Amino acid sequence: MAGGLAALKFLGGGGGPAAERFPGVAATKMAPDAAVTLAPALDVPSGAAAGYNVLLITLDTTRADHVGCYGATGGQTPFIDSLAAGGTRFADAVTVVPMTLPAHASIFTGNYPPTHGVRDNGTYRLPPETKTLATELKSAGYSTAAFIGAFVLDRRYGLSRGFDVYDDHILAGPKAGPDRLNPQRRGDLVADSALRWLDEQRPAGQPFLAWVHFFDPHLSYDPPEPFKSRFAGQPYDGEIAFMDQQVGRVIDKVRALGLLEKTLVVIVGDHGEGLGDHGEGSHSLLIYAESMNVPLLFYAPGLVPAGNVVADRVVAVVDLMPTMLDLLGLPKTECDGVSLLQASNSDRAVYMETLAPQLNHGWSPLFGLRRYWDKYIEAPQPEYYDLQTDWREMNNRWGEDSRGTMLAERLAALKSTLDSGPGGAATLELDSAARRKLESLGYIGSSPGTTAEGPLPDPKHMIAQSDQQMQRVSALLASGRATEAIPQIRQLLSIMPGDASVWSLLAVAHAQAGQLDEAIESRLRLLDLQPGDAQNWVALATLQYAKGDVAGFEVSLAEAERLEPELGSIYMVRARRAKQEGRLEEALALCQEALRRDPTRYALDSLSVQAELYHLLGRPAEAEAAQQRARQLGAP
């Protein structure tokens, strides 16, 4: 029965001793091989929330065991804990992929990544025909708005469909540089935007969907005061505490407007954070509990049972869309998730994956199945964990327990019904015309392959070694010692020839050393691995222009523009060329185009160059105005 096991299921890294996860296991936990029908996890009738507002708050990079109601003892989440006490909390909730964009695509579609097609950040987009929670609620007459905390969920990646307002306007600044995929804005700014919009909803009387995305616990950990001092030495927890405060501000606003009594509040993490467990500092490369277990709670006074803990089953982020549609009494959509208002099977196995090791490093991808009591990971060295006794997933029992083989067969059968390889409808590929042009210029087809022969390396064996060596090389490049870094990078490539990040470092090192031919060759190898990365094409174009190859420069920029027409660096590179060649008005127009298309990442760069151009054009007032705007964004 829902909540039949009143105890919590904690993760590692601060959740308490093993006995806290399954107290009284022998007396209360069902026999692992006994598949039974479970009562609905949420004891609420279908349609009971018809006409309710929906407030969906997603907590980026938030480990469940660093939230108070999941066992954290630092007192960092009083607001979230109070909602859990007044609602229903799911003790064993998991994500299906440890990356922001694919995980949110799963939250909003109810589908696993192979189904919705988004397998990584940055080079995938949700197909435009995809039904999402936002499109369904918009069709049902809801006012819809989203307030985004990081560029990784920018509208260009496809999640904005169905939203009347999609506030992804992130001001450029120290955390929003052009070399980063994840420019971000602090949670207080996200909350400010949401509060302004909520103020407008009360007079309208129209039900709303508001999605608020907080990114604060993501690297780098730098909480504002007083959380920085309070959590000195634990900045990740400080970021979570700051985020919790902002959650409280949003809830308090809904309450103050008199809307809380008819608002369904759902709070969920998109994925966790390694924090060094199993050797991973952040996330994306492994699928152990610290990255996959997330907080999840439902809160609606008088509707969702208060003080309830559902701890007798595993639930997943793909269950949110079908559950919310069921609660609201709206038509169901076909998806991989299940409604938590319906009975379920105790033998349910949730699909998990990460393709990031393959797509970004040339290592093996990881796939898995997660049941309530055990977990299987498909890897070059397979893994099976009995979660009844090994909830930290430290004791690999593959080959010792026949249930591991059974789960492996079950995963193989599931994958046969899914598109389980890199790619799918949402991926970006090299345009055939661009390929032919580059071949004619001698850039493609002459390089040996970049992938190793034989089985791909196992991420769990590579991650610690890779991290240490990459840090040493990056430190050398940061200090301008490129000639020392190059042989070390080549040594890394002898071990990891398919690692895109290493090829990128080699290109940077050769360019820093003035070795343009070698830098271009490295960029081409990188593009063999990631042909859909527009930023790599811009970097190649910059090298080609420096070498005097204007034709190659134009082809590469054209391909970047085809892949990501909103990428500001395309227009900034063209602007710098025009400036260098004396076409100042054209350069100015290109800078302004970069600012219009990509203000989050390129406002600072654009305004700084605009100030130079206005000065050269004899327009000092406009030069000073541009420079002042640039200073506001962090320019010296």
List, for residues 303-345, the tens digit of each pLDDT value: 999 999 999 999 999 999 999 999 999 999 999 999 999 999 9
Asked, as a colleague might, if the bond just before 344 is cis with ω within 30 of 0, I would say: no
Q: Which pLDDT value is given to residue 358?
A: 92
Both 175 and 302 in one domain: the answer is yes
**Does residue 215 form part of some domain?**
yes
User: pLDDT category, 291, cuts 50, 70, 90?
Assistant: very high
- Give the pLDDT confidence of 215-274 residue by residue, as tens digits: 999 988 999 999 999 999 999 999 999 999 999 999 999 999 999 999 999 999 999 999
Both 149 and 275 in one domain: the answer is yes
**For residue 181, what is the enclosing H or E element?**
none
- Give the pLDDT confidence of 496-525 residue by residue, as tens digits: 898 988 999 999 999 999 999 999 999 999
Both 517 and 626 in one domain: the answer is yes
Q: Which pLDDT value is given to residue 634?
A: 76
Question: Distance between CA atoms of 423 and 53, rounded to whole angstroms?
Answer: 36
Both 90 and 209 in one domain: the answer is yes
Q: What is the mean pLDDT of residues 341-366?
A: 94
Q: Which pLDDT value is given to residue 153?
A: 94
Cβ–Cβ under 8 Å, residues 591 and 623: no
Is the whole model's pTM more than 0.85, yes or no? yes
Question: Distance between CA atoms of 424 and 123, rounded to whole angstroms?
Answer: 12
Higher pLDDT, 635 or 78: 78
Angle at 289 between CA 284 and CA 290, to 5 degrees: 65
Structure tokens that stand for 329 in this block: 């009494």
- Give the pLDDT confidence of 619-628 residue by residue, as tens digits: 999 999 999 9
Which residues 6+ apart lie within 8 Å of 449 measured at CB?
A: 497, 528
Q: Which pLDDT value is given to residue 454?
A: 66
Q: Which domain holds residue 86?
A: 46-345
What is the average pLDDT score of the chain? 88
For the ranges 162-166, 205-209, 296-300, which has the lowest average pLDDT? 205-209
Q: Which pLDDT value is given to residue 495?
A: 85
- Give the pLDDT confidence of 12-57 residue by residue, as tens digits: 333 333 333 433 333 344 545 668 999 999 999 999 999 999 999 9
Q: Which pLDDT value is given to residue 30?
A: 53
User: pLDDT category, 431, cuts 50, 70, 90?
Assistant: low
User: pLDDT category, 427, cuts 50, 70, 90?
Assistant: low
State the angle between helix axes of 459-478 and 500-512 in degrees (0 to 180), rounded to the nearest 10: 10
Q: Which pLDDT value is given to residue 33?
A: 60
Alpha helices in 231-355 (DSSP H): 235-256, 289-292, 320-328
Q: Which pLDDT value is given to residue 29?
A: 46
Inter-CA distances, 303 with 47, 236, 405, Å: 11, 34, 42
**Does residue 3 form part of some domain?**
no
What does DSSP say about strands 208-214 and 165-167: parallel, antiparallel, or unpaired? unpaired
DSSP labels, 374-422: EEEEESSS-EEEETTT-TT--S--TTT-HHHHHHHHHHHHHHHTS--SS
User: pLDDT category, 426, cuts 50, 70, 90?
Assistant: low
Structure tokens that stand for 507 in this block: 């290109």
Q: Which pLDDT value is given to residue 198?
A: 95
Which residues 6+ apart lie within 8 Å of 376 measured at CB?
A: 368, 369, 382, 383, 384, 385, 404, 407, 408, 411
Q: What are phi and psi of 427, to 5 degrees?
A: -75, 160
Give the chain's domain count: 2
**Does residue 355 form part of some domain?**
no
- Give the pLDDT confidence of 133-175 residue by residue, as tens digits: 999 999 999 999 999 999 899 998 999 999 999 999 887 554 4
Both 447 and 304 in one domain: the answer is no
**Does residue 20 form part of some domain?**
no
CATH number for the domain that contains residue 118: 3.40.720.10
Q: Which pLDDT value is given to residue 48?
A: 97
Inter-CA distances, 256 with 107, 189, 205, 296, Å: 28, 19, 15, 24
- Give the pLDDT confidence of 568-618 residue by residue, as tens digits: 999 999 999 999 999 999 999 999 999 999 988 899 999 999 999 999 999
Amino acid letter for position 483: T
Angle at 278 between CA 7 and CA 76, to 5 degrees: 50
CATH number for the domain that contains residue 540: 1.25.40.10
**Does residue 307 form part of some domain?**
yes
**Torsion over CA: 86, 90, 95, 99 (sign):** positive
Cβ–Cβ under 8 Å, residues 524 and 516: no
Angle at 601 between CA 596 and CA 607, to 5 degrees: 60
* Domain edge (last residue) among 300, 320, 345: 345
Inter-CA distances, 348 with 313, 351, 560, Å: 8, 10, 43
**Does residue 2 form part of some domain?**
no
Angle at 598 between CA 594 and CA 603, to 5 degrees: 70
**For residue 532, what is the enclosing H or E element?**
none
**Does residue 325 form part of some domain?**
yes
Both 557 and 462 in one domain: the answer is yes
Q: Which pLDDT value is given to residue 181?
A: 43
The phi-psi region of residue 379 (left if phi > 0; otherwise alpha if psi is between -120 and 50; otherwise beta) is beta
Both 436 and 340 in one domain: the answer is no
* Domain edge (last residue) among 345, 376, 407: 345
* Domain edge (last residue) among 329, 345, 361: 345
Question: Distance between CA atoms of 260 and 30, rounded to whole angstroms?
Answer: 37
**Does residue 418 form part of some domain?**
no
